[in-house]
Structure 1
Amino acid sequence: MTPLVRAVLAAERIATQAALAAACFALALAVCAGAWQVFTRFVLAQPSPWSEALVRQALVWMVLLGVAGAIRHGALVAIDVARQAARGHVRLALELVTLACICVLFGVLFWFGWSMAERVRFQMIAGLDVSIAWGYAAIPVGAVFAILAALAAVLDPRRPDLSGQV
């Protein structure tokens, strides 16, 4: 393994772990805010004005940050039968086509997510009094983590085969 590949894999490992930790935090935040919403609505009979918006934003961030870990560990829907049947150059070509598709998809998401975050930066999320750009920022941020994870998945695959073995 070349020093460049080792450096990319080290950077990806740190980035993906950070993204997964942030995704877990976002999930915990969504659960707490959702529990608060239920408590205030049904026990206090006075719904919280901010908790529903916070749950929504936290879940968006959770999904878009968590996709990097799913890509890195091969947990997304994959072409398992073709991947298992392919050998040598055909398998490498399949991996490179998959990488290209992921990079194009998340490149487009990055571009339009960035554009949308810029466009709505002066609008506020009702109930939270923060810019809605913070919600849309999850798209380009998640896209960067996903592209890095996809590159690392090709350089150092960790996908289980159909029998569950890595």
Structure 2
Amino acid sequence: MRDKFLRLEHWTSRIALVTACAMLLAAASLGMFQIITRFVLETPAEWTEVLIRFSLIWMVFLGVPMAFRQGAMVSVDVLYRWSPARLRRFLDWVVCLAALTLIFIIIWWGWDYAQRGKVQTMAGLEELTMFWAYLAMPVGGVFSVIGIIGNLLDPQRLELETAQ
């Protein structure tokens, strides 16, 4: 069961990370497009700013699961290194439960915001509602829950490696 969950976690974290990278690429491309239309063509495209913001929101919430999985999100490195082995596993559980509590709050309120955002349109893109921007919170939260549990089952201490 543990191995099956870790395989699922591996695929979901990869999907989230690849999508986050695609959102970064989209934001950078739209930013370059905006610069060209505004300063070269002198005809700014208002919709690009909205889509850049939209893609950056999605990038952050889909990048967080990989940080949780690598153990780089909530770092209690000093306390962990100074503690005996029995206390270390207890610290893993405390960090996991604290992170899960935070993520469940983000999922709950993110879904609430997404539901409320159905009536709010995006400036420059009136055909899209804010539902799609706010949906990043619960979607990223679900991916994060899987990453947090995966890190509890198979801890990876990559705080220092990911900080470089």
- Alpha-carbon displacement from aligned partner over 1:129-155 (angstroms, at most 9, x marks no partner): 211100000000011111110110110
Identify the residue that residue 54 of structure 1 maps to in structure 2: 51
Amino acid at match of 2:148: A
Identify the residue that residue 105 of structure 1 maps to in structure 2: 102
Amino acid at match of 1:137: L
Q: 1:83 aligns with which of 72, 80, 85?
A: 80
Aligned-pair distance for 1:73? 1.0
The 3-state SS of whatever aligns with 1:130 is strand
Aligned-pair distance for 1:88? 2.5
Kindly indicate whether residue 122 of structure 2 is the aligned counterpart of residue 125 of structure 1.
yes
Kindly indicate whether residue 19 of structure 2 is the aligned counterpart of residue 27 of structure 1.
no
Kindly indicate whether residue 70 of structure 2 is the aligned counterpart of residue 66 of structure 1.
no
Aligned-pair distance for 1:5? 0.9
| TM superposition outliers: structure 1 runs of 4+ over 6 Å | none
Q: Is the 8 A contact 1:71 1:153 kept in 2?
A: yes
Q: Is the 8 A contact 1:84 1:161 kept in 2?
A: no
Identify the residue that residue 160 of structure 1 maps to in structure 2: 158
For residues 61 and 54 of structure 2, the distance between their equivalents in structure 1, rounded to whole angstroms, comes to 11
For residues 61 and 160 of structure 2, the distance between their equivalents in structure 1, rounded to whole angstroms, comes to 26
Amino acid at match of 1:37: Q
Q: How many residues are matched? A: 161
For residues 119 and 126 of structure 1, the distance between their equivalents in structure 2, rounded to whole angstroms, comes to 17
Higher strand fraction: Structure 1 or Structure 2? 2
Q: CA RMSD in A?
A: 1.5
The percent identity for this pair of structures is: 37
Q: TM-score, normalised by structure 1?
A: 0.92
| Inter-CA distance 162–44: structure 2 relative to 1 (3 Å threshold) | closer
Range 125-134 or range 137-146, more displaced: 125-134
For residues 124 and 160 of structure 1, the distance between their equivalents in structure 2, rounded to whole angstroms, comes to 41
The 3-state SS of whatever aligns with 1:118 is helix
Q: 2:90 aligns with which of 80, 93, 96?
A: 93
